[in-house]
Amino acid sequence: MHKIEEILAFFSIKYLGDFQLIYNALDKQETVDQEEFDLLMKTNQAKYTTIVSDDYPESLKFIKYPPFVLFYYGNLKLLDEKCIGVIGMRVPSEYGKSITNRLVKNLIYENYTIVSGMALGIDAIAHRTSLNNFGKTVAILGSGIDYCYPKRNRDIYESMKDNHLIISEYPGSTVPQKDNFPKRNRIIAGLCSSLLVCEARERSGTMITVGHALEQGKDIFAVPSNIDENIGCNILIQQGAKLVNCVQDIFDG
């Protein structure tokens, strides 16, 4: 007789983390073949927690489509810390790079754990700044837990694996699909008490994450930008996001 956590992990591996397929298997009480179970479970190298496990992040239980299983490497207890999401463009300006570095440094000095998506650009800067300044950081992948994407961030991935935290709802070496990244963004928003947008376009994956955060009732902070380029943050401020001139604006809420 398998434990419910094992059944959830099995279906998550079998269906490559696809929420709807896992839900359907559970709803129809799909039979678990023992030989297939043994084979698939052996393919998993990562640790995992499930939605019925004691160490599953409480905040994720209340989002739309909470992951049935989170595969991870590192220290899951980092999610019990004061977490803030730091997100933005994949090709930021020099201003965006500089302000992200400065704000993240100040945030980690105040014991914030930095959560982001390990994408190129602002995400990578947020993670690297944390690593280089003895901070704590969490990456949520849109690929399988063992599939480092983008490959240019391999140094971040390897540095975070043991002493920080890498999470994915996708098992093993699942190749990232285009739809995985917007889905991943709901987890970034769900794990954070607030979200800092450092630089953004008007229509982007960053704005999808903001949408999830607003739906979840999270505070949104945005760094103002030049009105001639990358005006996403300015639009967020117009719509009610808290303008960030300095890190104290975040502390003051």
- Smallest CA-to-CA distance from 87 within 42, 123, 59, 124 is with 123
pLDDT at position 1 is 65
Tens digit of pLDDT per residue, the chain (253 long)?
Answer: 689 999 999 999 999 999 999 999 999 999 999 999 999 999 999 999 999 999 999 999 989 999 999 999 999 999 999 999 999 999 999 999 999 999 999 999 999 999 999 999 999 999 999 999 999 999 999 999 999 999 999 999 999 998 899 999 999 999 999 999 999 999 999 999 999 999 998 888 898 999 999 999 999 999 998 887 878 999 999 999 999 999 999 998 7
Which domains can be identified in the chain, with CATH numbers? 4-74 (no CATH), 76-252 (3.40.50.450)
**pTM given for the model:** 0.95
pLDDT at position 162 is 86
